[in-house]
A and B are shown apart, each in its own frame.
Chain A
């Protein structure tokens, strides 16, 4: 019995071959670990005619130094991110965020590229075919209306990836390859706020690697809320990268996930040059509130997710601020 749609599977051995196939078949779906795409295919959430299996591309399965940057190939598994010595020593926040994704069996198969490009989710979308039939389908697939925002002309499915906010906070870049070309863009620019079309990659492009700038004096951390800590997607997630100089915030980048249709960088410019405390916490809270749009796309209500985001952000910043001072006193 075959429950999956009838597709042709292509297994390129090189990146060149993969981008050629991508051009040739007009944006076929890509699969590597399969933990996101194959689950969706068996629920009838897409019907690709051609599927490119990227898992044989050895050149995308490397972690290597390039000048002062660390490049992580898109096929590196999340399990490897949790234990690779280069990652755990230089970017512990990435190892921690990777360890918090799903369960160990998912992490053994799931890749960095797949985690970043994972499909957006919604209670009206991630359901079996008969469930969706009863609802007349939805804007994201097979239908023409959104059940979350009535009369909406775009899909509000939510992005729930854990690594994107961390990479955005760290100022990482995405390396994107197409036939005869390569381009580099900030990770936040990989995404756009449209649940049905949430990636900015062109149909003939493949995400090949992530380039990480040095962490320097930044204290980076990630936290999320979910229903079952062992396995669920984040209901809300916040990543921060803080540079503390004496008693002021010298630099700060904050990114959120699980709230909007894309992982988003939050404008925290009002906090720069000020000490962390109740006043700046209020500024951060306002900045988060104006950026995040939690809607009824998850089983937990949007009000809970907004409050959890505020509470977790405060706790995360309190810890990062305190940790920074510990580091400094240790250096003195």
Chain B
């Protein structure tokens, strides 16, 4: 059996005819062609396949493609905007939060989900947020530093924007 799946992937609406038994990860990697989402353990234990569905982190290996009908899916490919890395991508690059890179897409999206609901997480909250993402290079310290740094950068950018708007309004 196949059914029509209409879904927004990285801001673009699309429709595909997908089999009932297709997993979200296979849809993203093989139908849409977005191979940035990694397939690790296949059992929900490693978090490498983490994507965002309506701003919440979700395991693409344990979700059916048809379960995201009419929802917003975001993958690592959708994080950079207009050729600019997202604050988290930039921070992972600058703080050396990436080693072999296999866990990185999942790590960044788990962190992105955290920062959207809690822009000022403490270290403990960051650790909990990525506790379902395994890094077998074991570079957790750098990953946590990268997320802290991204949160600060986003906070600073938001404050600068607000200051600019206040100045503009005062003029």
Contact = CB atoms under 8 A, between A and B. Distances in A.
Interface of A: 1-9, 11, 31, 33-35, 38-39, 42-43, 51, 53, 55, 79, 102-106, 108-109, 230-231
Nearest to A31: B64
Interface residues of B, number: 33
Contacts of B77: none
Q: Which residue of B44, B45, B50 has the most chain A CB atoms within 10 A of its CB atom?
A: B44
Nearest to B130: A104
6 contacts: A2-B21, A3-B26, A9-B66, A38-B62, A42-B61, A105-B58
Given A31-B64, A53-B66, A109-B58, A3 B20 contact: no
Given A1-B26, A2-B26, A231-B131, A106 B44 contact: yes
A2 B131 contact: no
A108 B63 contact: no
B72 to A, nearest CB: 14
A11 to B, nearest CB: 7
Contact of B57 (A35, A39, A51, A105): A105
A127 B86 CA distance: 39
Contacts, number: 95
Interface in B1-45: 1, 3, 19-23, 26, 30, 42-45
A39 B66 contact: no
Interface in B119-156: 128-129, 131-133
A109 B62 contact: yes
Given A9-B21, A55-B67, A105-B59, A231 B1 contact: no
B75 interface: no
A2 B132 contact: no
Contact of B131 (A4, A31, A34, A103): A103
